[in-house]
Amino acid sequence: MDFDKETLDALTLAAACHFNPEAAVRLYRTAGSASAVMDNGRNIRDMAPGCPDRVAEALACAGEARRRAEGELEYAARTGVSIMCMGDEAYPARLRDCPDAPLVLFYRGTAGLNGRRVVSVVGTRRCTAYGQDCVRSFVRRLKELCPDVLVVSGLAYGIDVCAHREALGCGADTVAVLAHGLDRLYPPSHRDTASSMTAHGGLLTEFFTHTNADKLNFLRRNRIVAGMADATVVVESAVRGGALSTARLARSYDRDVFAYPGRAGDECSEGCNNLIRDNKASLISSADDLVAAMGWTVDARLEQARREGIERTLFPDLTDEEQAVADILQKDNDLQINTLSARAAIPVGRLAAVMFSLEMKGMIKCLAGGVYHLIKI
């Protein structure tokens, strides 16, 4: 099959070094491309003298890895999956800057991963009604303040899936980072949510097909959740948990971390309270707090200006008579021309021309019975 050589070589490199993905990334960054690594696979120490023995052996005998890579490309072509190599423009730029970024990503979705604002929302699988309320208000308000925001989480039970569903509900794009290949879904009970996300966000993973959702994979995927975002928000976490791992990784990448506080002694909020106490996360009680801390308040002002600009375009300059008619219909809509003539003190003959002009400007429409209706934006 006619595959792009760099993509095929990147997949082969990732498959050959599946036991040491960090070494694969170091080789890629040293050589400048996956093809440069694989073209020198049998003599890799000429390029990288410090290459580990097991990695050198795997690259020297990469036939099975090549077949695995070809299988991934075939699956991707058949199912509409995008494959992103570290050097590709579509690859998350924020993640690329992280030292342990994955060499290859698999993506099924529509949302771009390099949007202006990206926020990860994580938390306990055993969330309370308080946690759900926090997520609901946070995501919806964040969408209002930053209309183009991308919400990232892990599709797990609890806070994760709540964040995804709230984003879908308010029209925000949302991406789930998975701990397995795209040929399966965990947990299966979230399949409907995942299906909706492929049209309004997407599903992202570093794992090849036939990879199960093992415990170690969940820990590995946390670095993607943290690394591809500008900020990570923790909503409810016990003293130990994956959300705290994600927060720790975000701090190591010099990303902002925020946490919702909980009641003292509340098991589900103990982790968040500790993050705040130890100055490892900033306390927030709303999306407004995060937006202010991140310096994103300009987004809301720009959106307001954009809307006002649209309204001015939709409502072009009106003559005095046109404005008088619009003001009357604004207060008391759906009037006949004779009533409008009397109220506006405009003769019916001239008013007919005024109404035609307003109709051409898209401000009114004539209903049955000669009733005029003002179209409200």
CB of 146 closer than 8 Å to CB of 240: no
- What digits encode the pLDDT tens for the residues 50-89? 999 999 999 999 999 999 999 999 999 999 999 999 999 9
Q: How far apart are CA 339 and CA 349, in angstroms?
A: 13
DSSP state of 332: S
* Position 373 pLDDT exceeds 60: yes
pLDDT at position 313: 46
* Position 15 pLDDT exceeds 50: yes
Selection from 214, 177, 211, 196 nearest residue 94 by Cα = 177
CB of 36 closer than 8 Å to CB of 28: no
Q: How far is CA 85 from CA 13, 14, 78, 104, in A?
A: 11, 10, 19, 5
pLDDT at position 1: 39
pLDDT at position 310: 46
- What digits encode the pLDDT tens for the residues 235-249? 999 998 899 999 999
Which tokens belong to 161?
């899936």
pLDDT band at 98 (very low <50, low <70, confident <90, very high): very high
The three-state (H, E, C) secondary structure of 81-103, written as one string: CEEEECCCCCCCHHHHCCCCCCC
Q: How far apart are CA 75 and CA 10, in angstroms?
A: 16
CATH assignment, 315-374: 1.10.10.10
- What digits encode the pLDDT tens for the residues 134-153? 999 999 999 999 999 999 99
* Domains in the chain: boundaries: 1-78, 118-302, 315-374
In sequence order, what DSSP letters do the residues of 195-225 get, joined into one string?
Answer: HHHTTSEEEEESPPTT----HHHHHHHHHHH
Three-state SS at 241: coil
Considering the chain, what percentage of its residues have pLDDT values greater than 90?
Answer: 77
- What digits encode the pLDDT tens for the residues 165-179? 999 999 999 999 999
Bridge partner residues of 105 (DSSP): 84
How many Cα atoms sit within 13 Å of 337 on the Cβ side?
Answer: 17
* Position 38 pLDDT exceeds 80: yes
Q: How far is CA 133 from CA 147, 219, 251, in A?
A: 20, 26, 26
DSSP state of 181: -
CB of 255 closer than 8 Å to CB of 230: yes
Bridge partner residues of 366 (DSSP): 372
Q: How far apart are CA 207 and CA 11, in angstroms?
A: 11
Q: Compute the average pLDDT of residues 114-126.
A: 95
Looking at every residue in the chain, the average pLDDT score rounds to 91
- What digits encode the pLDDT tens for the residues 279-320? 999 999 999 999 999 989 876 666 665 555 544 445 567 898
pLDDT at position 128: 94
Examine residue 49 and say whether the peptide bond preceding it is cis (omega within 30 degrees of 0). no
Q: Which CATH architecture does the domain made up of 118-302 adopt?
A: 3-Layer(aba) Sandwich (3.40)
Amino acid at 71: G
Angle at 274 (CA atoms; ends 271, 280), nearest 5 degrees: 105
pLDDT band at 159 (very low <50, low <70, confident <90, very high): very high
- What digits encode the pLDDT tens for the residues 172-210? 999 999 999 999 999 999 999 999 999 999 999 999 999
Which residues 6+ apart lie within 8 Å of 251 measured at CB?
A: 257, 280
pLDDT at position 265: 85
pLDDT at position 297: 84
Considering the chain, what percentage of its residues have pLDDT values greater than 70?
Answer: 93
CB of 328 closer than 8 Å to CB of 335: yes
Q: How far is CA 65 from CA 75, 110, 150, 187, in A?
A: 15, 29, 34, 29
Helix ranges (DSSP H) in the chain: 5-16, 21-31, 34-39, 44-47, 53-60, 63-79, 93-96, 129-145, 159-170, 191-197, 215-227, 242-252, 270-277, 287-294, 297-314, 320-331, 337-344, 348-360
